[in-house]
């Protein structure tokens, strides 16, 4: 029994974290609000093998499992990376779709697909399973969403695409890997919002002292930190359960998403409240992370959806 990321896994995460800190700073996320995201971080992730963690070595991948990838995806969340890492590396790659930027939304009521304006391939549910479409095989109907850096659209297939899998279990597993990735991104976003807010609360003075010295501010942030403390192991366990094909994998991803979504919600409220009016402007970076967390909290199934899945799994 041993429950922590080992050195190899930590190293992969640290690589991702360092390159994202350099190539996906807040300014890059901000720029992605009005233009296609700068691809340098994405390319660097690809060069580091992060997109091919789940691709067999025989096909040029790293041939590793989800416990290696989950930390990388969490770091992408922390950076609010605009690119579709979960879809590409976690959902599509194990289905044999590699080497391309894939987007998908296999959510409970799939409607809005992120990264739709620049993805190279689209993985969509169809009557007979999951099909992959090239960018020229779909019609893109862009929509305005709360987080413009996601570049969302409604996507309508025009051609037949290519059947990736017709197996219901494989489709369900793909969905669950998407849920896992979204949970990890939410966890990363919470970490980032906590860092931003702790830093601000220590520096901002009101009534002659740092606002972080007021008990109300302390308790807002302590509550958020506590949520993070207990969501993090659930996300890691979900990755482990999926990687090892455990019987409770399906429940574990729902639990991870539910906890990480709640955590991001508590953290987001605390972050905005502790920043006050300064956080309530688009000039401040907080909103980049906050709005991403709002979008992801409802993607790949919201809190009620996943709570009900867990309820069913424990016999309620």
Partner 1 sequence: MDLNWSETQAAMRRDLRGWLERNLAEWRAEIGVELSGDTREGFAQQLRWERRLYEAGWSAVAWPEAYGGREGTLWDWLVFEEEYWRSGAPQRVTQNGIQILAPSLFEHGTQDQKDLLLPRIAAAEDLWCQGWSEPNAGSDLAGVSSRARRVSGGWVLDGQKTWTTRGAFCTHLFGLFRSDPDSERHRGLTYLLVPLDLDGVVVRGFSRLDGDEGFAEVFFTEAFLPDDAVGTSVVLGDVDRGWSVAVSAASTERGLLRSPGRYQATVAGLLDLWAERGGDAATRRRLAAAWMLVDAYRLQTLQTITALLDGVDLGSEASLAKVWWSELDIELHEIALELLGTDAELEGPWSKGHQFALAGPIYAGTNEVQRNIVAERVLGLPR
User: Is 205 one of the binding residues for a copy of itself (CB under 8 A)?
Assistant: no
CB of 215 to a copy of itself, least distance (A): 4
- The tokens for 241 are 């359960």
User: Between helices 286-298 and 249-275, what is the axis angle to 10°?
Assistant: 150
Stretch that binds a copy of itself, among 64-72, 150-158, 214-222, 225-233 (CB under 8 A): 214-222
C-alpha span between 147 and 29 (Å, rounded): 10
User: Is 305 one of the binding residues for a copy of itself (CB under 8 A)?
Assistant: no
User: Is 219 one of the binding residues for a copy of itself (CB under 8 A)?
Assistant: yes
- In this structure, are residues 228 and 183 in contact, taking their beta carbons and an 8 Å threshold? no
C-alpha span between 112 and 109 (Å, rounded): 9
CB of 78 to partner 1, least distance (A): 17
Stretch that binds a copy of itself, among 49-57, 184-192, 212-220, 257-265 (CB under 8 A): 212-220
- In this structure, are residues 49 and 61 in contact, taking their beta carbons and an 8 Å threshold? yes
Instruction: Find the helix or strand (DSSP H, E) in which 108 lies.
Output: none
Q: How many residues lie near a copy of itself (CB under 8 A)? A: 4
The entry of partner 1, a copy of itself, none near residue 140 (CB within 5 to 8 angstroms by kind) is none
Instruction: Give the three-state DSSP class for 173.
Output: helix
Stretch that binds a copy of itself, among 20-28, 211-219, 248-256, 308-316 (CB under 8 A): 211-219
- The tokens for 307 are 């709570």
Contacts of 54 (CB under 8 A, 6+ apart): 61, 62, 64, 65, 66, 69, 89, 90, 93, 94
- The tokens for 30 are 């901000």
User: Is 287 one of the binding residues for partner 1 (CB under 8 A)?
Assistant: yes
C-alpha span between 81 and 289 (Å, rounded): 10
CB of 177 to partner 1, least distance (A): 18
User: Is 160 one of the binding residues for a copy of itself (CB under 8 A)?
Assistant: no
Q: Which of 143, 202, 216, 226 binds a copy of itself (CB under 8 A)?
A: 216
CB of 207 to a copy of itself, least distance (A): 12
Instruction: Give the three-state DSSP class for 112.
Output: coil
User: Is 226 one of the binding residues for a copy of itself (CB under 8 A)?
Assistant: no
CB of 266 to a copy of itself, least distance (A): 17
CB of 225 to a copy of itself, least distance (A): 16
φ, ψ at 241 (rounded to 5°) = -65, -40
C-alpha span between 245 and 200 (Å, rounded): 42
φ, ψ at 168 (rounded to 5°) = -65, -40
User: Is 14 one of the binding residues for partner 1 (CB under 8 A)?
Assistant: no
Q: Which of 11, 21, 143, 160 binds partner 1 (CB under 8 A)?
A: 143
Q: Which is nearer to partner 1, 2 or 169 (CB)?
A: 2
Closest CA to 114 of 81, 90, 73: 81
User: Is 10 one of the binding residues for partner 1 (CB under 8 A)?
Assistant: no
Q: How many residues lie near partner 1 (CB under 8 A)? A: 81
User: Is 214 one of the binding residues for a copy of itself (CB under 8 A)?
Assistant: yes
C-alpha span between 92 and 52 (Å, rounded): 10
CB of 267 to a copy of itself, least distance (A): 19
Q: Which is nearer to a copy of itself, 218 or 246 (CB)?
A: 218
Q: Which is nearer to partner 1, 163 or 216 (CB)?
A: 216
Chain residues in the site for a copy of itself (CB under 8 A): 214-216, 219
């Amino acid at each position: 029994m041993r429950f922590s990321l080992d050195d190899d896994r930590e190293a992969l995460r640290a690589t991702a974290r360092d390159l994202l800190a350099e190539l996906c700073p807040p300014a890059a996320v901000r720029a992605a609000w009005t233009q296609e995201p700068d691809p340098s971080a994405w390319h660097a992730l690809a060069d580091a093998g992060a997109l091919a963690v789940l691709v067999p070595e025989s096909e040029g991948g790293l041939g590793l499992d989800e416990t290696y990838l989950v930390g990388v995806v969490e770091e992408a969340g922390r950076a609010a990376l605009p690119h579709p890492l979960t879809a590409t590396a976690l959902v599509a790659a194990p289905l044999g779709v590699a080497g391309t930027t894939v987007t998908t939304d296999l959510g409970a009521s799939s409607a809005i697909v992120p990264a739709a304006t620049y993805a190279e391939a689209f993985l969509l549910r169809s009557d007979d399973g999951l099909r992959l479409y090239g960018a020229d095989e779909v019609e893109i109907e862009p929509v305005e969403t709360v987080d413009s850096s996601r570049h969302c659209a409604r996507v309508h297939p025009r051609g037949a695409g290519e059947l990736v899998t017709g197996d219901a279990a494989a489709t369900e597993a793909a969905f669950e890997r998407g849920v896992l990735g979204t949970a990890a991104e939410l966890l990363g976003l919470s970490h980032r919002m906590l860092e931003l807010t702790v830093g601000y609360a220590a520096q901002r003075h009101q009534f002659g002292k740092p606002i972080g010295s007021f008990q109300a501010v302390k308790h807002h942030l302590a509550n958020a930190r506590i949520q993070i403390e207990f969501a993090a192991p659930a996300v890691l366990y979900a990755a482990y359960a999926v990687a090892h094909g455990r019987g409770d994998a399906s429940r574990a991803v729902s639990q991870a998403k539910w906890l990480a979504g709640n955590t991001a919600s508590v953290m987001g409220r605390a972050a905005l409240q502790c920043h006050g009016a300064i956080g309530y402007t688009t000039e401040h970076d907080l909103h980049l992370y906050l709005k991403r967390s709002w979008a992801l909290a409802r993607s790949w199934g919201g809190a009620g959806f996943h709570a009900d899945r867990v309820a069913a799994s424990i016999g309620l």
